[in-house]
Amino acid sequence: MMEIVLVEGVSDVRLISYYLQKTYGWKHEKNNALGISENDEYEHIESLSKQENQLVLCGVGGNGKFAPFVEKHRINMMLVEKEIASLMVVTDRDEDSDAKVGRKIGKSLESISIRAGEWIRNDMVDSFGQHKIINTYLMIIPPSENGALERVIINALNDIPEEKGLIQEVIKFIESLKNELVKELEQINKYDKAVVGTFFSVRNPQNALRSFGAFLQKVDWSKSEYLKELFLPFMYLGGEKPIK
């Protein structure tokens, strides 16, 4: 079974890849059978496998880059021509409603429909005129509040006993800066980025100037019930989907 997951950026790829490997038993692979490769320094591609299943995890290059990525890599044509069983999209909410995010992502996909929070079945005809099925799922993060991946990380850290004390102290510190010195922190995404960046720099000062990926393995994300519930749809990758 071949599946694709499209996410926004490198940080999303690394967190989700690490979580899938640690929680659901996926393993990292060097190459992917679809031949998708990075076109620039902002895209990031990882391949995972589990038994006979392969998953291609694609960071599209950032917010607003889904449509260009789908076009450049011929994802719509690939869905018709290749033996792809499912497509999942993971995207930031920012300040948009489920419906608005769904419409934005849906415009990029020509032959299939996608819906927030639900696996749906798409009946298609491949390039040989044969019937095929592609299941789709749209995950919007965070699920019920404004923000992006950083808000998910903050919520998860608050849920892990070993990390809760530090993240709460960091939040207090960033709040003091927002109120007195750095008005830019009044913007929720910049506030959350400052919290996450400060947390990891303090927790692992020896890695303070390294990339986000260097910090991921320092936290046992499997202890977060919040993250476990949010990422529950990932359990169906490589298996039968709960189509209603």
Q: Which residue has the tokens 């929720």?
A: 188
pLDDT of residue 210: 63
Domain residue ranges of the chain, discontinuous segments joined by + = 2-144+228-236, 149-222
Please report which confidence band the pLDDT of residue 6 belongs to, taking 50, 70 and 90 as the band edges.
very high
- What percent of the chain is modeled with pLDDT above 70? 97
Give the whole-angstrom CA distance, residue 238 versus residue 51. 9
pLDDT of residue 73: 95
Question: For residue 217, is pLDDT > 80?
Answer: no
Question: Which residues on adjacent β-strands are paired with residue 4?
Answer: 56, 87
pLDDT of residue 63: 82
Please report which confidence band the pLDDT of residue 79 belongs to, taking 50, 70 and 90 as the band edges.
very high
Q: Is 147 helix (H, G, I), strand (E, B) or coil?
A: strand
pLDDT of residue 115: 93
pLDDT in tens, 171-212: 999 998 887 788 889 888 899 999 998 998 888 877 665 666
pTM: 0.89
Lowest mean pLDDT: which of 57-71, 116-130, 156-170, 199-213?
A: 199-213
Query: Of the CATH numbers 3.40.50.280, 3.40.50.10620, 3.40.50.40, 3.90.1150.10, which one belongs to the domain with range 2-144+228-236?
Result: 3.40.50.10620
Give the whole-angstrom CA distance, residue 37 versus residue 23. 26
Give the whole-angstrom CA distance, residue 234 versus residue 102. 19
